[in-house]
Structure 1
Amino acid sequence: MSYSWLQYASSQSVKDSKMKDLIILLQVTRSDYRFYPGEAGGIEGRMSSTSEIDQLIFGLLSNRAAGKTICPSEVARAMSKVEAEWRALMDPVRQRANELADEGRLQVTQHGEVVDGRRARGPIRLRLPPD
């Protein structure tokens, strides 16, 4: 894949936040993430390190206004090479988000309130802690 349009787009003043998110995702994601056949023919993602998840989380959040959130599925979708397989990546993303929350680098929220991501059931959001 040629990144010439990406280089052009990232050098321009991009006002559309979705385009900015796409540029960040394409800059951060590379072919470092590979899929291996899992048991029962499923797909399991294997990562060499958690730094890729960190880069995506903080890259997406840096493009949002202060106090705004992202959904962990945005990170999982960015990591997935095939649209239909992003759900298999949700557990590693949520696990890393919880670790970052334990370190105080991230907050896990539900309905706008900070929660323990390990106990939360249902949709969660991720945001940077206030300064």
Structure 2
Amino acid sequence: MQFLKEYLDLAVFAVLFFMSFLVLMFSIERFIFFAKAKNMEFKDEKHAQVMLSKNLTCLYIVYQNAPYVGLLGTVCGIMITFYDIANSVDFSVNEIIIGLSLALKATALGLLVAIPTLILYNIFLRKVEVLQSNLRLKNA
């Protein structure tokens, strides 16, 4: 339990940091691609669909799972707090409240990663729809 107590926050924050790094990388790639996509030629509509929606799945996965990673950190943090309460001879309400409030920071960080990712995902999805519509009009 001591190992979990010492490294839980680090592990959860590392996973969420990695997820946010992926979001940043793929978002920059999509912004650059969409800036160039207006002048691109695609073989057919299917090829356009594949190229326009590339890397959006990663954004979808991050915004769907970041809150769960944070929630996992919170649940484990609460378990550690209860374990510490059970093993302490004398405990105060302040210790309980501090333990629980520290556990909740993982959920907050998970939401902090998920919400902007959801916004970016929806922006990119709308951009894909607009570009596909423009390609259909151009090819018609």
Normalization by structure 2: what TM-score? 0.25
More strand by share: 1
Higher helix share: 2
Report 1 or 2 for greater relative contact order, CA contacts < 8 Å, sequence distance ≥ 6.
2
